[in-house]
C-alpha cells in the first residue's frame, strides 16, 4: 500500500527515493497490492451476478492488465491496439467486451475472428456492417446495443443521457433497432449497454443511475422482441483528487446496487449477468508519478519549482489545457512530514506557459534534487497526455509487489517512426521518370 505517513513516501514498503535511484526519474510507480485490494473488494461486496470489466483506456500497460485479469476481472477494450495487447496476453475472448463508436471494417473483422463474446454496437449502420461481415464468414453473432436513454439522475452533478451523443442509439429509436435486427440474419441482439457518467463520488448518484438504467432495460425487455442475456450498467465509480472531495462509500454503493439487481431479477424472472465497467476506480489510487526538482526560483514573488517532467506525462494535473482550477494531490515525496512553508507553482520542462501542474500549492521548502510526485496517478496518466509535445524523454513504469519492484516499461519505450531518406526516395522517383 502507499504509505504517506513516513518521512519518505513508501510504496509497498519501498521508499520512493530508492526507486528513483534505481530507475531514475521521470517515472510512474504502481502498487500491485493496492490494485489487488480494489479488485478483491469489488468482487466480494458486489452482487454475485455482477461482473467487473476493467477498462484498458485507464491504463493499458500489459503487465497491469494481465495482473487485473488474473485477479478475476474481465476486460473492456475499445481500439485495435488494445485488442493487440489482449491478444498478446492470450486473454480468453469470452472475458472481453468490445465497444466504441467508430469501429473500422478491419477492426470488426478482427473482433469476429478473435471471437469476442461481448460485442457492443453503437449505430444501425454498424449493425448492418457487422451483419454483412458475419455473413461473409458464415457466422451468427450475438451483439449488445449501446443505448442513450432519455433520463437524468436527480441530484447528479453530471450531465446524463438525453442529449445528442456520438455514442449509442437514442432510446426513442429502440423499437426501430429491434425491428431492424429482425431483418439481419447473421446478428442477434442479446445485450443492452448504457454508460452515463464518470468520476462519480456519491454512492446515491451511482445507485440512482443504476436504478434508471435497470428501469430502462426492464421496459425494453417487456416491449421489444429479443432474448436478453446480459446487461451492462456502465459504472463511473470515481476517486477523489481535490481537497473538497471524499472517497466513494463503496460498501454503501454496492449494497444499494445489490438490492436493485435482486428487484430487477425478480421482476423479469431471470438471473442475468450484470456488467460494471471501471478503469479509474481499479487503478487510479495505485499509482504515483514522480519527477525530480531541477531548479527552484522566484518570479515576481511567486516561488517556482521546475521538474524534469510535467503535463507531457500527466496532462490532467495541468487542467487538460484549461485554466488550472484545482491542484491535484501533489507532494514533496522525500519531505512528507515536513511542515508547509510557502506556496509554490510547480512547472515542467516544456516551453509552453501551460506546463504547470500546481499553482499556489503550499509545500515544504523545495530544493534541487527533491522528488515531487502526483498521487492517485494510476489512471489516465501517460496515455492521456501529449507525450510527444516538445519531445522530452518518456518516463519508465515500475510495479511494486511484495516488497519487490519490476520495470514494466523501459524509458523511451514507444514506437518512434524510422528514419527515411528523402534523397533516396527522390532518386527512385526520378529513375521511374516521375520528375523528369
Ligand X SMILES: *Cc1c(COP(=O)(O)O)cnc(C)c1O
Binding mask 85-124 for ligand X (x = CB under 6 A): --------------x-------------------------
The residues in 351-380 that bind ligand X, with binding defined as CB under 6 A, are 379
Please give the grid coordinates belonging to residue 37: 485490494
232 binds ligand X, rule: CB under 6 A: no
* Cell 449497454 -> residue: 193
Binding mask 148-187 for ligand X (x = CB under 6 A): ----------------------------------------
Which DSSP state fits 340? Answer: P
Nearer to ligand X, 82 or 355 (CB): 82
- Out of 173, 198, 215, 296, the only residue in the binding site for ligand X (CB under 6 A) is 198
Nearer to ligand X, 15 or 279 (CB): 279
Least separation in angstroms between residue 278's CB and ligand X is 4
Nearer to ligand X, 189 or 291 (CB): 189
Least separation in angstroms between residue 149's CB and ligand X is 14
**CA triplet 291, 297, 303: central angle to 5 degrees?**
85
Task: Report d(CA 85, CA 170) in Å as an integer.
Answer: 32
Q: Which H or E run contains 17? A: helix 16-23
Region of 60-68, 79-87, 221-229, 274-282 interacting with ligand X (CB under 6 A): 274-282
Query: Strand pairing of 356-363 and 342-347?
Result: antiparallel
63 binds ligand X, rule: CB under 6 A: no
58 binds ligand X, rule: CB under 6 A: yes
Per the CB < 8 A criterion, the answer to whether 171 and 148 are in contact is: yes
Per the CB < 8 A criterion, the answer to whether 415 and 341 are in contact is: no
Annotate 313-328 with three-state secondary structure. CCHHHHCCCCCCCCCC
Nearer to ligand X, 40 or 185 (CB): 40
Least separation in angstroms between residue 114's CB and ligand X is 20
**CA triplet 97, 101, 103: central angle to 5 degrees?**
75
Annotate 113-134 with three-state secondary structure. HHCCCEEEECCHHHHHHHHHHH
- Out of 15, 279, 287, 364, the only residue in the binding site for ligand X (CB under 6 A) is 279
The residues in 30-49 that bind ligand X, with binding defined as CB under 6 A, are none
Task: Report d(CA 378, CA 281) in Å as an integer.
Answer: 9
55 binds ligand X, rule: CB under 6 A: yes
Per the CB < 8 A criterion, the answer to whether 34 and 2 are in contact is: yes
Q: Which of 175, 272, 268 is nearest to 223 (CA)?
A: 175
Q: Which of 272, 267, 168, 170 is nearest to 222 (CA)?
A: 267
Of all residues in the shown chain, the one whose CB is closest to ligand X is 279
Per the CB < 8 A criterion, the answer to whether 77 and 84 are in contact is: no
Least separation in angstroms between residue 279's CB and ligand X is 3
Least separation in angstroms between residue 167's CB and ligand X is 7
- Out of 47, 51, 57, 303, the only residue in the binding site for ligand X (CB under 6 A) is 57
Region of 82-90, 154-162, 191-199, 416-424 interacting with ligand X (CB under 6 A): 191-199
195 binds ligand X, rule: CB under 6 A: yes
Q: Across 164-244, where does the E strand assignment appear?
A: 169-170, 187-193, 230-235
Nearer to ligand X, 77 or 293 (CB): 77
The residues in 379-408 that bind ligand X, with binding defined as CB under 6 A, are 379
Q: How many residues does the chain have?
A: 436
- Out of 161, 191, 235, 310, the only residue in the binding site for ligand X (CB under 6 A) is 235
Give the torsion sign (CA, 89, 94, 97, 102).
positive
Region of 204-212, 279-287, 354-362, 409-417 interacting with ligand X (CB under 6 A): 279-287
Per the CB < 8 A criterion, the answer to whether 59 and 279 are in contact is: yes
Contacting residues toward ligand X, per CB under 6 A: 55, 57-58, 76, 99, 195, 198-199, 235-236, 277-281, 379
Amino acid at each position: 500500500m502507499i504509505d504517506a505517513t513516513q518521512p519518505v513516501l513508501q510504496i509497498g514498503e519501498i521508499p520512493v527515493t530508492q526507486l528513483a535511484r534505481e530507475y531514475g526519474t521521470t517515472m510512474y510507480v504502481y502498487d500491485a497490492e493496492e490494485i489487488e485490494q480494489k479488485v478483491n473488494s469489488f468482487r466480494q461486496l458486489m452482487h454475485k451476478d455482477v461482473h467487473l470489466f476493467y477498462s484498458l483506456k485507464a491504463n493499458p500497460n500489459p503487465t497491469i492488465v494481465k495482473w487485473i485479469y488474473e485477479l478475476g476481472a474481465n476486460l473492456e477494450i475499445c481500439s485495435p491496439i488494445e485488442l493487440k495487447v489482449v491478444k498478446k496476453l492470450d486473454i480468453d475472448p469470452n472475458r472481453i467486451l468490445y465497444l466504441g463508436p467508430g469501429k473500422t471494417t478491419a477492426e470488426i473483422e478482427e473482433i469476429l475472428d478473435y471471437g469476442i463474446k461481448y460485442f457492443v454496437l453503437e449505430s444501425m449502420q454498424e449493425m448492418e456492417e457487422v451483419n454483412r461481415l458475419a455473413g461473409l464468414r458464415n457466422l451468427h453473432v450475438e451483439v449488445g446495443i449501446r443505448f442513450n436513454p432519455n433520463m437524468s439522475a436527480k441530484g447528479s452533478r453530471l450531465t446524463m443521457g438525453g442529449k445528442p451523443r456520438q455514442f449509442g442509439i437514442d432510446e426513442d429509436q429502440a423499437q426501430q433497432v429491434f425491428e431492424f435486427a429482425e431483418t439481419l440474419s447473421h446478428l442477434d441482439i442479446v445485450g443492452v449497454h448504457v454508460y452515463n457518467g464518470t468520476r462519480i463520488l456519491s454512492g446515491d448518484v451511482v445507485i440512482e443511475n443504476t436504478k434508471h438504467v435497470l428501469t430502462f432495460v426492464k421496459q425494453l425487455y417487456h416491449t421489444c422482441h429479443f432474448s436478453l442475456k446480459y446487461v451492462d450498467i456502465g459504472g463511473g465509480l470515481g476517486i477523489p483528487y481535490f481537497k473538497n472531495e471524499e472517497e466513494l462509500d463503496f460498501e454503501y454503493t454496492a449494497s444499494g446496487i445489490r438490492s436493485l439487481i435482486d428487484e430487477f431479477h425478480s421482476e423479469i424472472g431471470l438471473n442475468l449477468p450484470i456488467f460494471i465497467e471501471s478503469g479509474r476506480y481499479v487503478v487510479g489510487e495505485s499509482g504515483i508519478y514522480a519527477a525530480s526538482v531541477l531548479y527552484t526560483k522566484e518570479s515576481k514573488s511567486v516561488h517556482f519549482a521546475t521538474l524534469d517532467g510535467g503535463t507531457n506525462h500527466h496532462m490532467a494535473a495541468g487542467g487538460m489545457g484549461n485554466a488550472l482550477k484545482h491542484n491535484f494531490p501533489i507532494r514533496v515525496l522525500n519531505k512528507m512530514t515536513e511542515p508547509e512553508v510557502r506556496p509554490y507553482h510547480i512547472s515542467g520542462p516544456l516551453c509552453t506557459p501551460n506546463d504547470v501542474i500546481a499553482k499556489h500549492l503550499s509545500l515544504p521548502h523545495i530544493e534541487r534534487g527533491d522528488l515531487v510526485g502526483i498521487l492517485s496517478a494510476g489512471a489516465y496518466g501517460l496515455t492521456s497526455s501529449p507525450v510527444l509535445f516538445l519531445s522530452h524523454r518518456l518516463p519508465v513504469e515500475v510495479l511494486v509487489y511484495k516488497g519487490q519492484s519490476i520495470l514494466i516499461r523501459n524509458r523511451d519505450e514507444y514506437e518512434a517512426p524510422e528514419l527515411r531518406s528523402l534523397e533516396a526516395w527522390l532518386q527512385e522517383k526520378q529513375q521511374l521518370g516521375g520528375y523528369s
